[in-house]
Chains A and B, each alone.
Chain A
Amino acid sequence: MLSDQVQKEIRGELEHYPTPRAACIEALKIVQKHERWVSDEALQEVAALIGIAAAELEGVATFYNLIYRQPVGEHVILLCDSVSCWLTGCEKIRSGLRERLGVDYGQTTADGRYTLLPMACLGNCDHAPSLMIDEDLHQDLTPEALDGILEEVE
């Protein structure tokens, strides 16, 4: 069941658009903001709320890789693996994270704290390698710097 709060926010969003389907990305983001990810049930309910077919909403949801259709941890780490970051050593950061958290791309730590995902360019190439944890950007990374960053999150 979508919470009252989620429903209210989606209804509010619907008012901004002449055609309800235009609000579908925002609606998915609202669900994700509250639930961290979009479950099958939530997807069906959002589709009903907007008045579009579930298949249509699923097409949108799965097109965007930042709409999560599988459960993610409390914090999502987006490690950039695009050109600049790759040149400047994102693979080392990846192994650094693997050592510290025991997870690779697409995995969530056993305690449900972190999910690690690859990201194609954070738009921060001048400070590569970069990663993002939730809303926070971390740049000019070295493997050593990871300890501090993770501590900050905790």
Chain B
Amino acid sequence: MATAHHDEHPSGIMRWLTTTNHKDIGTLYLVFAFTMAIVGGIMSLVIRSELWQPGLQIVDPHFFNQMTTVHALVMIFGFVMPAFTGLANWQIPLMIGAPDMALPRMNNWSFWILPFAATLLMLSLFMPGGGPAGGWTLYPPLNVQQSGPGVDFTILSIHMLGISSILGSINIIATVLNMRAPGMTLMKMPMFAWGWFITAFLLIASLPVLAGAVTMLLTDRHFGTHFFDAAYGGDPVLFQHVFWFFGHPEVYILVLPAFGVFSTIIPTFARKPLFGYETMVYATASIAFLSFIVWAHHMYTVGMPLQGELFFMYATMLIAVPTGVKVFNWVSTMWRGAMTFETPMLWAIGGVFIFTIGGLSGLMLSITPADFQYHDTYFVVAHFHYVIIGGSVFGLFGAVSYWLPKWTGHMYNETLGKWHFWLTMIGFNLTFFPQHFLGLAGMPRRIPDYSLQFVEFNQWSTIGAFMTIAAQLIFFYYAMQSIRAGQKATSQVWEGAEGLEWTVPSPPPYHTFATPPKVK
């Protein structure tokens, strides 16, 4: 306990179980996230294999439905959200010149809830009656009526995942507000920290609402309440409102940290400061605000009053404005920059490009009468994979390749990095671009069988899926390689990189910024 020994920490497994160090916890988050990505990835291959041709061949429909449901839950709550929290843990203290997160013990707690929550979710698949099969949105009446404990496991798992994220967000807010190095005003803060700071508010405001929604589901299932049963004065659509009040902010929770990553990487490799830093901050904040008043665009077809349809349509379209501001700012940052295209930059540019396509399909979906046609078809599936993979996952890979040399002290293999990017880029588009056409032609989502005219596009899609997942092996290989060996990385790593994290050695010592740096 003596002052001088604060560097001591247990070794072996106990180090990881008891750590209060933001770098350790960041690593734990990232390892957990990529493990879950493998699990979710395998599920997606089950789905795509079944859809290789019409008819039922590999799995029965009930299991197919479990796969679509759990795939989505795992990818959102197990992969993307924890991965970005891992990045936040590693980077925010380094970027704002803090020695650690504001509440280090709670930080460890928010991580360690995750493996337990994931176990609960996975257990559901082995229960009598199987895992949740009514879609990740858990709509009643299906999810009230599905028998067996699978849905209950899912609900409790969601509660735990929610607690974890809320605690993590509280920590991020406290860190940003309270731990910045002297001189680092909010408006000097790196965009990644800004993106996460705003995301944290979205999480704190929306996850408790999800907890409320699934609690009502649970009491309807087991304690005789009638929230979602019209015969007793409830309403199944009520669930959808409460769920999407969480659900739409959630999609921005997935993407705003990635926006922060794009805003970090692009200036580095364009060797120009970010164009319009302040407008970026305000645009992110506006997106966050608007994201709370657009939720019913997921429910255009439930029979809302006309005023409701119109309000949510215009509000949704409005989001495209700040989103557009961000895209234009990234492009303007690159304008006349001295650009090079290392792996992180490829991910950033590729990510902006793919995300923009997803934003445009979102705009199509936001048009109420058009959505009557598109709703619950593969068009929606294409849309959200463009935004979530293009936005969040590309951002994630960009971030990992960008900061990997900082974390491990070794450069990764640039050739492998580029292969990984290009194979993923091609595989991804092969998988999801045809799904736009499938959806427009009327192929419904979440169905294990389809009519003959959809065969060709589905086969493209399945081939693309296998290609994309196979490409991820390259990532695991080069990441491992860089952890173990490789060309030594300098502190600066990237010629054009700016920020406090590049002033400390690579890898950084266990504790950094024990005395706060001065920021001009």
The answer to whether A and B belong to the same complex is: no
**Interface, chain B (partner A; CB < 8 A):** none
